[in-house]
């Protein structure tokens, strides 16, 4: 199961854990991904997406259909 957002393309980053003694060890920062079903009234169907919580906030503001159309205009998402 990949840890990449279907819409924004967010994926894990790497960085360091820094201890009190300033010793550094590698770690991973994973995006906050949720699997969610969205209903698209314009298409009269459900779509299932793995999205970040930031994308979910934008979808609740704009609507899923408009958000997908905006991403398609930018060339970030192929919407059919």
Structural domains of the chain, with CATH: 13-74 (2.30.170.40)
Is pLDDT above 90 for 78? no
Is pLDDT above 80 for 43? yes
24-32 contact pairs (CB < 8 A, 24+): 30/3, 31/3, 31/5
pTM, two decimals, is 0.80
What average pLDDT does this structure show over 54-78?
89
Q: What pLDDT sits at residue 17?
A: 98
Give the tens place of pLDDT for each residue, 4-40: 999 999 999 999 999 999 999 999 999 999 999 999 9
């Amino acid at each position: 199961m990949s840890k990449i957002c279907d819409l924004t393309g967010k994926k894990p980053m790497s960085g360091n854990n820094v201890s009190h003694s300033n010793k550094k060890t590698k770690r991973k920062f994973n995006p906050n991904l949720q699997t969610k079903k969205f209903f698209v009234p314009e298409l009269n169907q459900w779509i299932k997406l793995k999205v970040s919580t930031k994308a979910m906030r934008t979808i609740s503001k704009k609507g899923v259909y408009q958000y997908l159309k905006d991403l398609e205009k930018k060339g970030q998402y192929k919407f059919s």
